[in-house]
Structure 1
Amino acid sequence: PATVPYHRSKIRMNTIGGTNWQLPGQWIEWKVNAEKEGLYQITIKGRQNITRGLYSNRKLTINGEVPFKEAENIEFNFSSTWQNFELGNEDGPFLFYLKEGENTIRMEVVLGDLAEILRTAEESVYVLNSAFRKVLMIVGSAPDRYRDYQLHKKLPDVMATLSQQSVVLKDLSERLEEYTGQRGSHNAILNRLSYQLEDMARRPRTIQNRMTQFRDNVGALGTWINNTRYQPFEIDYIIFSAPDAEIPKADASFFRRMFHEISAFIASFTEDYSSVGNVYDTDEAITVWITTGRDQAQVLKRMIDDSFVPETGIAVNLELVQANVLLPATVAGSGPDVALSVLNSEPVNYATRNAAVDLTQFPDLGDVLREFTDATLLPYRFRGGLYGLPEQQQFLMMFYRRDIMEELGVAPPNTWEDLYYIIPTIQKANMEVSVPVAVNNDPWGAMESFSTFLYQEGGQLYNGDGISSALDTEEAIEAFKKWSELYVNYKFPVIFDAQNRFRTGQMPLLLHEYWLYNSLQVFAPELRGLWEMAPLPGVVREDGTIDRSTTSGGYAVMMLEQTKNKEASWKFIKWWVSADTQVRFGREMESLLGASARHPTANIEAAKRLPWPVKDYNALAEQRKWVKGNPEVPGGYFTSRHLNNAFRKVYNEGADPRETLLDYVRTINEEIDNKRKEFGLPLRDGGK
């Protein structure tokens, strides 16, 4: 109730900043019209209620210039409630000169005195990860706790590093305490790691028993750096006034807060909390459901209201729902006109039940499809129809630590033969290489990595239009053997934390979906310039080209058959998947949530315009050429499920790959037959 304008139950866009304005270099600019030139006092109604014990720093400029030195670093301390921050110091408020007429006020996020502290901490993370890796090369990932590895004799430089970094971190803690004026939770990881390093250097025979704790503490230091770099500050309004002017109170009174709570409670009985933004009360409005998150929904609603609605005159009501609500709502006849961010398998799943609209009926479909590859469209095709359009696309890329590869004297692999050649060198140094497999009973990881081998062997998932599984062909069996041998013979780990192992250097080479790139940019800033993303290893063809085929996953948009206005729904879908809309959505999400939220759009024209570095975009574009879509067929869910089961049986029980896969193919074909019979489709034996 303290912000202006206020509403008892609606979310008002009545403040600016917060977590959307927290990274160094981000700025907000205001145009201020002064009736008279002169000296003004500036009071900001704001709050910094996220980073307890630390300041948020801003640089203030007026008409492009810093008015005086103190304005280069203005500190806003932690406050759980709204405060009036009077810009000044212990001697009194600052006075800022404004010319008559329009003035430009800019506030930019800066680190201030924290910059040097964080820079030193980043260097420590890199040095300590290097020390961890050197110890790992000797003791391995599962050291003998009773063995004396004589690390103080074999690695005297590491012992010196541990002692030196202990002193560095202790000094950082003292500098941070001096900066904040208090000793709190922000000092904890610095003190804990400093003590551990000192103790490890003093008692080197205990190091092998403390490797996990050492790795976790270094990772925690990296997380602390990321969290401390954030400088959130939220602003309600700014007051420019004479020095002696009376300033209204910032926070709401007790009685106003009590009135708000009572009003909000009463409104909760009638408020529709699934709707996002304003609701159009007209029969002509189309209903769109989104299943991602509230941040994405609010950005999309804002784009709809200021772009799509004015351009087309079509009203859109956007609702945020759980993904598992769509099916029962559709069956009950209360579903939406358009569903966003549905899984790749859903459009065909709904189409087989006559619940999704075939988009080939729209004459301008061809113009829309020019911005997508055939691979991204394949999962939504069924018996000549197209029942969805792609929103997002993810596929495997190769990530490698350039610094470690150079240390080991190996080059990043171009082919699988290259990879097999360097695996012994990497594993001899007690490091790992891996390819993702299913985690937490999700079979997609297995499907994704197996399909890479399958397509590079020239195989396919299904025969005909999905009438039966093609995993009993020689190409599929050979692909399954090569894939499972990575884990059985080469001992690739099945379950692992890709980000942490890549960061510490424990896993200097891995294949992973390219969202890992965005995470590493934020998660491991100390590795900037020390790692690369490249296309996958492949197979050399007769003409000398390297076949890097793989598959992709993602999300789609589809139109439900129950829609009463197909033309309006189609216009919305065209607008949503267009390059301009996808680029704007991607940029809005990145400005809201940071680089880790970079939108993995399936639109190839939009992908060119998103803020990828040229080298990394070229690597993605090269791999995208080799991406093949996995077709969705009735009963196809048994393919990923039993492929995962076949892998587990080979990996855990040592079963024969050929016989195991053939056994499960029979089970897959039985389910495909059952589903095709249910939907009246032709069977393998010619019946229905």
Structure 2
Amino acid sequence: MICGHKLRSTSIMSLLALLIAGAVCPLSVSGRELRYGEYLQSWQGKGRPELELVVPAGVLLEEGKSMEWTVDVPEEGLYNLTLAYLPVPGRGASMELELMLNGERPFSEAGYLLFHRIFGDSGPVLRDSLGNEIRSAQVEYPALRRQPLSDSRGYTQEPFLFYLAEGPNTISLTARQESIYIDELVICQIPAPRPYAEVAAEWPEVHTRDVFIKIQGEAALYRSHSTLFAISDMGDPTVEPYHPAQIRLNSIGGWRFNQPGQWISWEFEVPEAGLYTIAFKAKQNLRRGIPSNRRVLIDGEVPFAELDAVEFPYSTRYQMHRLGGEEPYLIYLEAGRHELTLEVVLGAQASLVQAVEDSLYELNTIYRQLIMVLSPDPDPLRDYQLEERIPQVLVAMEEQAEILHSIADEMEAASGQGGGHMVTVRSLALQLESMAQKPESIQVRLDEYRDNLSALGTWLLQTVEQPLQIDYLLVTSPEQELPRAEPTFWEAARHELAKLAASFTHDYSALGDLGLAQGGDRTIKVWIGTGRDQAQALKTMIEDSFTPQTGIRVDLELVDMNILLQATLAGQGPDVALGVDPSQPMNFGLRGAVLDLAQFPDFPEIAGRFYPASLEPFTFRSWVFALPEQLPFFMLFYRQDILDELGIEVPQTWDEVLQVIPELQKLNMNFGLPWTEIKRNVGGRVGETPAGVGSLSASQGVLSFLMFLSQKGMDLFGDDAAQTNLHTQEAYEAFQFWTDLYELYDLPVEYNAENRFRLGEMPLLISPYTLYNTLTVFAPELRGEWGFAPVPGTRRADGTIDRTVLASGTATVILSGAQDPEAAWEFVKWWTKSETQTRYALDLEALMGAAARYPTANPETLRSLPWPLEDFRKLEEQLKWVRGVPEVPGGYMVGRHLDNAFRRVVNDQAPVRETLLDYNRVMNEEIRAKRLELGLDEVEK
């Protein structure tokens, strides 16, 4: 066996699908990098020489660095490459490498090669004072691993093949994310696993008896991601262990165990050598109509071809799945310990899913071609003569319709089911056919087409997901009967009655004590307004870190933070509140409801932990009423593929933006600058708490204006925030520029940033950098086609570019009613430490995925999060220009009336200077009234 790894050979269906995927319409040929399927076709006919070349390395490849090796290949051909690597301590993310052959990247997928870490439980399961089981933290267990270079998204099931010419070839690896120790590279041929019948014929016929080994799913030995921890299933009385009301960690997987390349392994021991069967009690209840697939490895190898992609069909309840079904596979195992691994794969759907992704990219290109002629809002009565102006687009529609129909046929045949799951694909195919045949109908169906593209993108994400929840595994001798997986009628009835009774007696929002540390007599109450998983993660951190270090006990309560004001007025508030809206510290502080943190002797040292900008919203005079937690700020997002097509560079200044906007609008595309009317509920992304109505940062549009104002060197408020500076010439110019962008340059006021960016309608847009996380997860077809950069700026007299943006985020406060302020301050200091914030941020990402990456206000924590190095450097560059949104007495009126002034100018064409001055007078009157109410003009500090 060469390379020590076996994988399934390419099926005829997979090759056909790759051909389909490569048969893209002419619109896609220009500008997009070669895909693996196309690369493989270009080397058709080349042999696969049976040889193995070991390239010693023994080097630490640091993040952002490259390493090159020259290899003398005796015979040209297609080869697999295997990497022996060791994960090194880092930020906990998988390592990502880029491969170059002879100075060039052979295909796009070679730029995103993932190598996973190894995680496991840090200790045994704990039980809190309420009887709930608490999972242990996930820690890394570094070990040397061998992994073939393969598709990180799982679209190609087999390891990549690379063409190497006879003679010297250079192989270069660049660490795009995280550092990695490379032990050696192996150039070889990885044989495909042989069929079961062929392999079984070579095994000794040693039949075992009376062996029944049960391995609980939650007792997994290792896993590829820290997100694959034990979970609780309280909906089935047959799970082990079970309790109707208390949390029991009784399974593993579920929706977290769904991405290709993820794996979980278990260890078991058989008493004697012989033939065994393997079964799983599992359920796949999240993907209706299509199965989830797993590759089964024993001791690191796929024993035979049939285990390369084992299907687990959809079921609302747990089912027993014995490998081989009615005629189970008899697998020979030597006596002793073995490791069984389940790896997520796409199975027969793999190449078809890639074909859908390629088609989606082409369909987005078709949409852009259409809006270049029609505009996003076409006249339904006009004859656009599409047959004459863009006939190639109509041809491309027919081609893509045929491709989508073929994909739907193949997937239905592969799953053995028709109907529901393929409705989205079929509907879009039928619409394409109809529009191609009746071009005059396209302008009235453009919105429907855009909606269908969005639906296809969602379908693609859902189809790639392969969830599976596992209760336990069985390794048995062949004669053993499998236990029942579903509850009886009486078991189910008893379960429902027990749940009903528990609903009257059990407090599901309570967080019990773990008893990890004995605190002293000092206790503080802390409120947090996140989800239960985040609160439980914090509770664990408190009990294994804060309380042992300080002897202070913490009563952590999960509450709706909207009641903080009422609770404070009633004298029932907490000592410390986490995740507080950025406007509240100032409002509470000036009324004496929260403590001035600057009074503590070590405050200057603690304040040094943060970006200076993040403290500005909570600072007035010498008072500081909160410490920051989050700091989301603007970045410029761009579609590199579209800019390349148009010959446009990423703009560096606003003058360049004004030159780019007409070029985009000629093609009915546009530039995105956020404007959001101030509302009571302002939406936010996962991991980001939105600002409330009382905050200047409640409107991203106001933040845009403040960006322009600050880039002109003017602050929003004058000395001591006694009045605004909106009467100045700089403010007038900034306000006029802001409104002109919408009135004269016709930027859209309301839009969905994710969808317009994905469709290409808006190849340049400004958004909080948390959009990066959303696009990474929800727009996989754009991988490598987009990026972000610091915002455009204003060129100064010395030639430098001022890229100032304003930002604010959530905060931590100590309420003035705290019984033990010193203990509360100790907690706040612990909570804002970089080590604590980093652990919490990584736990949050482990719980909820990359879309929940924490927009931290702590520089050390930001460095510790799993950002690719190139992207992190861009964030660091923009952070040099970030300033805090000023929160001042009466400031809520400033945000409200800037919003009103904007709408009067843009919607009603009111004169700019007079409108701004009129509203400025009202703002200053409110500021004076608030200062008088609070007695600020009589207070000197």
TM over 0.5: yes
Does structure 2 retain, via aligned residues, the 8 Å contact 1:413–1:419?
Answer: yes
Does structure 2 retain, via aligned residues, the 8 Å contact 1:19–1:592?
Answer: no
Residue 90 of structure 1 and its aligned partner are, at CA, apart by 4.2
Question: Among residues 382, 386, 401, which one is paired with 2:620 in the alignment?
Answer: 382
Question: Among residues 447, 455, 458, which one is paired with 2:713 in the alignment?
Answer: 458
**Stretches of 4+ aligned residues off by more than 6 angstroms:** 279-283
Aligned to 2:903: 648
Does structure 2 retain, via aligned residues, the 8 Å contact 1:642–1:664?
Answer: yes
Residue 218 of structure 1 and its aligned partner are, at CA, apart by 1.4
TM norm structure 2:
0.70
Aligned to 1:137: 372
Question: Among residues 253, 260, 269, which one is paired with 2:504 in the alignment?
Answer: 269
1:27 equivalent in alignment to 2:282: no
Does structure 1 retain, via aligned residues, the 8 Å contact 2:292–2:313?
Answer: yes
Question: Among residues 604, 609, 616, which one is paired with 1:371 in the alignment?
Answer: 609
Does structure 2 retain, via aligned residues, the 8 Å contact 1:460–1:471?
Answer: no
Aligned to 2:179: none
3-state SS of paired residue (1:248): coil
| Separation (CA, whole Å) in 1 of partners of 2:769 and 2:248 | 35
Aligned to 1:636: 891
Aligned to 1:335: 573
Residue 34 of structure 1 and its aligned partner are, at CA, apart by 4.3
| Residues 228-264 of structure 1, C-alpha deviations (whole Å, 9 max, x = no match) | 1111111222233333334433233332333333333
**Higher mean C-alpha deviation, range 376-385 or range 426-435:** 376-385
1:236 equivalent in alignment to 2:500: no
| Separation (CA, whole Å) in 1 of partners of 2:786 and 2:248 | 42
Question: Among residues 775, 778, 782, which one is paired with 1:527 in the alignment?
Answer: 782
**Higher mean C-alpha deviation, range 222-231 or range 285-294:** 285-294
Q: How many residues in Structure 1 have an aligned counterpart in Structure 2? A: 685
Aligned to 2:187: none
Residue 33 of structure 1 and its aligned partner are, at CA, apart by 4.3
CA-based RMSD of the aligned residues comes to 2.3
Q: 1:633 to 1:440 in 2, by over 3 A?
A: closer
| Separation (CA, whole Å) in 2 of partners of 1:396 and 1:629 | 12
Q: 1:120 to 1:63 in 2, by over 3 A?
A: same
Aligned to 1:615: 870
Residue 220 of structure 1 and its aligned partner are, at CA, apart by 1.0
**Higher mean C-alpha deviation, range 546-555 or range 270-279:** 270-279
Does structure 2 retain, via aligned residues, the 8 Å contact 1:20–1:591?
Answer: no
- Kindly provide the amino acid, as one letter, of the partner of residue 293 in structure 2: N
Q: 1:91 to 1:279 in 2, by over 3 A?
A: closer
Question: Among residues 420, 423, 437, which one is paired with 1:185 in the alignment?
Answer: 420
Report matched runs for 1:407-426 at 5 Å: 407-426=645-664
Question: Among residues 449, 453, 476, which one is paired with 1:218 in the alignment?
Answer: 453
- Kindly provide the amino acid, as one letter, of the partner of residue 263 in structure 2: W
Identity %: 47
Residue 181 of structure 1 and its aligned partner are, at CA, apart by 0.8
1:78 equivalent in alignment to 2:314: yes
- Kindly provide the amino acid, as one letter, of the partner of residue 118 in structure 1: V
- Kindly provide the amino acid, as one letter, of the partner of residue 385 in structure 1: W
**Higher mean C-alpha deviation, range 423-432 or range 106-115:** 106-115
Aligned to 2:305: 69
- Kindly provide the amino acid, as one letter, of the partner of residue 397 in structure 2: L
Q: 1:128 to 1:410 in 2, by over 3 A?
A: same
Report matched runs for 1:71-470 at 5 Å: 71-95=307-331, 97=333, 99-101=335-337, 103-278=338-513, 284-439=522-677, 441=679, 443-470=698-725
**Higher mean C-alpha deviation, range 26-35 or range 11-20:** 26-35
1:545 equivalent in alignment to 2:800: yes
1:555 equivalent in alignment to 2:810: yes
| Separation (CA, whole Å) in 1 of partners of 2:330 and 2:600 | 64
Residue 58 of structure 1 and its aligned partner are, at CA, apart by 1.5
| Separation (CA, whole Å) in 2 of partners of 1:284 and 1:61 | 52
Aligned to 2:922: 667
Aligned to 1:586: 841
| Separation (CA, whole Å) in 1 of partners of 2:319 and 2:800 | 64
| Separation (CA, whole Å) in 2 of partners of 1:295 and 1:110 | 28
Does structure 2 retain, via aligned residues, the 8 Å contact 1:42–1:96?
Answer: no
Does structure 1 retain, via aligned residues, the 8 Å contact 2:617–2:808?
Answer: no
Residue 309 of structure 1 and its aligned partner are, at CA, apart by 4.1
| Separation (CA, whole Å) in 1 of partners of 2:387 and 2:544 | 66
Does structure 2 retain, via aligned residues, the 8 Å contact 1:57–1:76?
Answer: yes
| Residues 469-501 of structure 1, C-alpha deviations (whole Å, 9 max, x = no match) | 222222222211111110011111100111111
| Residues 493-533 of structure 1, C-alpha deviations (whole Å, 9 max, x = no match) | 10011111111111111111111111111221111111120
Aligned to 2:123: none
**Higher mean C-alpha deviation, range 527-536 or range 39-48:** 39-48
| Residues 94-128 of structure 1, C-alpha deviations (whole Å, 9 max, x = no match) | 43626414x33322211112211110001001111
- Kindly provide the amino acid, as one letter, of the partner of residue 331 in structure 1: L
| Separation (CA, whole Å) in 1 of partners of 2:906 and 2:762 | 21
3-state SS of paired residue (1:471): coil
Q: 1:665 to 1:273 in 2, by over 3 A?
A: farther
| Separation (CA, whole Å) in 1 of partners of 2:832 and 2:334 | 46
- Kindly provide the amino acid, as one letter, of the partner of residue 144 in structure 1: D
Q: 1:444 to 1:20 in 2, by over 3 A?
A: same
Residue 357 of structure 1 and its aligned partner are, at CA, apart by 2.3
Query: Higher helix fraction: Structure 1 or Structure 2?
Result: 1
| Separation (CA, whole Å) in 2 of partners of 1:378 and 1:31 | 53
Does structure 2 retain, via aligned residues, the 8 Å contact 1:392–1:600?
Answer: yes
3-state SS of paired residue (1:41): strand
| Separation (CA, whole Å) in 1 of partners of 2:556 and 2:476 | 42
Does structure 2 retain, via aligned residues, the 8 Å contact 1:43–1:239?
Answer: yes
Residue 93 of structure 1 and its aligned partner are, at CA, apart by 4.3
Aligned to 1:573: 828
| Separation (CA, whole Å) in 1 of partners of 2:267 and 2:544 | 22
Q: 1:36 to 1:463 in 2, by over 3 A?
A: farther
- Kindly provide the amino acid, as one letter, of the partner of residue 362 in structure 1: F
Q: 1:346 to 1:30 in 2, by over 3 A?
A: farther
Q: 1:219 to 1:337 in 2, by over 3 A?
A: same
Does structure 1 retain, via aligned residues, the 8 Å contact 2:275–2:330?
Answer: no
| Residues 182-219 of structure 1, C-alpha deviations (whole Å, 9 max, x = no match) | 11321101111111111111111221221111111112
Does structure 1 retain, via aligned residues, the 8 Å contact 2:790–2:878?
Answer: yes
| Separation (CA, whole Å) in 2 of partners of 1:652 and 1:489 | 12
Does structure 2 retain, via aligned residues, the 8 Å contact 1:462–1:469?
Answer: yes
- Kindly provide the amino acid, as one letter, of the partner of residue 233 in structure 1: L
Aligned to 2:691: none
TM norm structure 1:
0.95
**Higher mean C-alpha deviation, range 471-480 or range 526-535:** 471-480
Structure ranking higher on relative contact order (CA contacts 8 Å, 6+ apart): 1
3-state SS of paired residue (1:468): coil
Q: 1:682 to 1:440 in 2, by over 3 A?
A: closer
Report matched runs for 1:502-513 at 5 Å: 502-513=757-768
Does structure 1 retain, via aligned residues, the 8 Å contact 2:678–2:899?
Answer: no
| Separation (CA, whole Å) in 2 of partners of 1:310 and 1:261 | 40
| Separation (CA, whole Å) in 2 of partners of 1:308 and 1:302 | 10
| Separation (CA, whole Å) in 2 of partners of 1:367 and 1:35 | 61
Residue 278 of structure 1 and its aligned partner are, at CA, apart by 4.2
Aligned to 1:497: 752
**Higher mean C-alpha deviation, range 548-557 or range 300-309:** 300-309
Does structure 2 retain, via aligned residues, the 8 Å contact 1:277–1:298?
Answer: no
